[in-house]
């Protein structure tokens, strides 16, 4: 990490296994780069199968004692972790922005967001209640007891390097599970810093183990965990093809899975919507992290009667967005994570234009700012034949389709294998419930663009995966139910 880093003692260029910061078995490293410039800002171990296995050895050994630590004591450690994370909000926020590229306000906001999950699961740790079941036979007592599933493999994405670690590791610890974690190769430094704080909070050795790996070495590490029968659960956020690979490869050892996969969120503006609120909702949901968010709207449908009014207001707002590096406090849109990401955006926009879309705002790279910046873009006349309608663009592009009827737009919104989030704006209470029921997604925003909250269940249906993060359901995903029946009591 460069000289002016404000949290040098939390910058680790090592794996954390069994309570020890160590290099990979063969001492190989890979570079972590600033997405705005491509310049290396640090190095972390390029781990392989040996590191993956010793991490599981440590997690498996630690599980025997961690599961027996009383829930209240586990909760206290988790809450200390939360306090430490919050006490470093500014520095962690800067680290997130530095390695991920998001504006500084969003980097700091992500720290608070991450901490909200740690705090929540610190509280939920003491509420893994079971059931006492009325027995049909005299002299019997029947119980359903919640138990931790065991060693959890957490595989986290680059777009929210702190929040996704928090949302996966905090519930695992709360449930009494131990963890092996592989953070995204683009953003491992934030994850390592969070684990360094967990260590300071008193998480015992072996309970959290983190192994970094380059894009090339990642399959070796992850497949070692998938094949290992001691790993009882996999929690993953990332693409649908990778999620399906994890599910297939976990089948032989029948692991429990939480898969938060790709989305293709529709955003619908009905003619009875509050147009100002709809524009605001779209700005909030679409441009968070420059559109690199799995719940951000990918397809925008606007009813004919309000189409032009909505588009004009939106174009004005989007055109005014300030694009730039996190070091400029005015920046609202940062760089894309890497060249592959910006090439995909470019491909989607070019394809849309070749099929009749009109570029109203943006539609191009911004090389004068840096190689990975893309102008916030509004496209009109989008339709279902365009690649941006069927694939997640994961960038600051808003393709708008005009529609006539509610039935037509519901059919279009559901015409995708994905089902993570959907948004719509309407002021008709009957329509609100009709449409909320009809949308085939795990999350629905009604007159609201900012949906995520630690107390709410986050997750999808169809090809967007299964399992929930946050809320009471987010703890249940790390527990299984044991039925205990005691007889001969009369």
Cβ 177 to ligand SIN, closest distance in Å?
21
278 and 243 Cβ atoms separated by less than 8 Å:
no
156 makes contact with ligand SIN (CB under 6 A): no
Of the residues 237, 389, 401, 441, which one makes contact with ligand SIN according to CB under 6 A: 237
Cβ 159 to ligand SIN, closest distance in Å?
5
160 makes contact with ligand SIN (CB under 6 A): yes
Cβ 392 to ligand SIN, closest distance in Å?
10
Closer of 75 and 420 to ligand SIN (Cβ): 420
Cβ 179 to ligand SIN, closest distance in Å?
18
What does DSSP say about strands 151-155 and 231-237: parallel, antiparallel, or unpaired?
parallel
Any idea what the Cα angle at residue 115 is, between residues 1 and 281, rounded to 5°? 100
35 and 100 Cβ atoms separated by less than 8 Å:
yes
DSSP assignment, residue 204? P
* C-alpha neighbours within 13 Å on the C-beta side of residue 465: 33
Q: How many CB atoms sit inside 10 A of residue 354's CB?
A: 10
393 makes contact with ligand SIN (CB under 6 A): no
Binding part of the chain for ligand SIN, among 188-196, 198-206, 293-301, 480-488 by CB under 6 A, reads 293-301
Of the residues 78, 166, 452, 475, which one makes contact with ligand SIN according to CB under 6 A: 452
Active-site residues: which are they? 260, 294
Residues in the chain: 490
Closer of 292 and 389 to ligand SIN (Cβ): 292
Residue 159 to residue 264: CA distance in whole angstroms:
16
Strand partners, 132: 143
Q: What is the DSSP string of 383-426?
A: -TTSHHHHS---SSEEEEEEE--HHHHHHHHH-SSEESEEEEE-
Closer of 82 and 159 to ligand SIN (Cβ): 159
Cβ 173 to ligand SIN, closest distance in Å?
19
Cβ 46 to ligand SIN, closest distance in Å?
25
Cβ 66 to ligand SIN, closest distance in Å?
27
116 makes contact with ligand SIN (CB under 6 A): no
295 makes contact with ligand SIN (CB under 6 A): yes
Binding part of the chain for ligand SIN, among 40-48, 60-68, 77-85, 154-162 by CB under 6 A, reads 154-162
69 and 176 Cβ atoms separated by less than 8 Å:
yes
- Can you read off the two tokens belonging to residue 168? 């996966």
Which 3 state secondary structure label does DSSP give 75? helix
- Can you read off the two tokens belonging to residue 320? 């005014």
Closer of 159 and 298 to ligand SIN (Cβ): 159
Number of residues located near ligand SIN, criterion CB under 6 A? 9
293 makes contact with ligand SIN (CB under 6 A): yes
With tokens 């009325």, the residue in question is 134
Of the residues 100, 156, 159, 372, which one makes contact with ligand SIN according to CB under 6 A: 159
191 makes contact with ligand SIN (CB under 6 A): no
Q: Sign of the C-alpha dihedral, residues 42, 46, 52, 54?
A: negative
Binding part of the chain for ligand SIN, among 287-295, 330-338, 404-412, 422-430 by CB under 6 A, reads 287-295
Query: Helix axis angle, 304-319 relative to 275-287, nearest 10°?
Result: 50
Closest CA to 171 of 459, 458, 474: 474
Binding interface with ligand SIN (CB under 6 A): 157, 159-160, 163, 237, 293-295, 452
């Amino acid at each position: 990490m460069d000289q002016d880093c404000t949290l040098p003692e939390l910058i680790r260029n090592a794996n954390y296994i069994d309570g020890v910061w160590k290099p990979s078995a063969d001492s190989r490293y890979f570079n972590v780069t600033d997405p705005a410039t491509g310049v290396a800002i640090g190095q972390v171990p390029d781990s392989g199968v040996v590191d993956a296995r010793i991490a599981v050895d440590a997690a498996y050994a630690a599980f025997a004692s961690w599961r027996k630590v009383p829930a209240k004591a586990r909760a206290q450690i988790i809450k200390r972790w939360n306090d430490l994370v919050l006490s470093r909000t500014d520095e962690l926020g800067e680290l997130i922005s530095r390695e991920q590229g998001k504006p500084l306000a969003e980097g700091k906001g992500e720290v608070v967001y991450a901490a909200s999950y740690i705090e929540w699961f610190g509280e939920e740790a003491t509420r893994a209640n079971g059931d006492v079941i009325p027995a049909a036979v005299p002299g019997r007592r029947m119980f359903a007891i919640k138990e931790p599933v065991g060693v959890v493999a957490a595989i986290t994405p680059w777009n929210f390097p702190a929040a996704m670690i928090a949302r996966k590791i905090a519930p695992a610890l709360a449930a009494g599970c131990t963890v092996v974690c592989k953070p995204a190769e683009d953003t491992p430094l934030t994850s390592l810093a969070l684990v360094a704080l967990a260590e300071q909070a008193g998480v015992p050795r072996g309970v959290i183990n983190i192994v970094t790996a380059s894009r090339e070495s990642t399959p070796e590490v992850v497949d070692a965990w998938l094949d290992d029968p001691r790993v009882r659960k996999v929690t993953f956020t990332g693409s649908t093809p990778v999620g399906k690979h994890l599910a297939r490869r976990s089948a032989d050892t029948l692991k429990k899975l939480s898969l938060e996969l790709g989305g293709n969120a529709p955003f619908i503006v009905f003619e009875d919507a509050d147009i100002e609120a709809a524009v605001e909702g779209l700005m909030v949901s679409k441009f968070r992290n420059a559109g690199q968010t799995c719940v951000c709207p990918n397809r925008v449908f606007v009813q004919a009667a309000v189409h032009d009014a909505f588009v004009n207001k939106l174009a004005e707002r989007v055109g005014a967005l300030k694009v730039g590096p996190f070091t400029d406090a005015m920046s609202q849109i940062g760089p894309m994570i890497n060249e592959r990401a910006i090439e995909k955006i470019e491909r989607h926009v070019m394809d849309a234009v070749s099929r009749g879309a009109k570029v109203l705002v943006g539609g191009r790279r911004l090389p004068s700012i840096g190689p990975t910046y893309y102008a916030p873009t509004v496209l009109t006349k989008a339709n279902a034949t365009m690649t941006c309608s069927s694939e997640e663009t994961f960038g600051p592009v808003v393709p708008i389709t005009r529609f006539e009827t509610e039935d037509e737009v519901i059919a279009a919104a559901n015409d995708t294998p994905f089902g993570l989030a959907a948004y719509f704006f309407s002021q008709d209470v009957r329509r609100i419930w009709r449409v909320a029921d009809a949308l085939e997604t795990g999350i629905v925003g009604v007159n609201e663009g900012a949906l995520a909250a630690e107390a709410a269940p986050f997750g999808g249906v169809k090809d967007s995966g299964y399992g929930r993060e946050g809320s009471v359901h987010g703890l249940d995903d790390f527990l299984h139910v044991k039925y205990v029946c005691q007889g001969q009591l009369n």
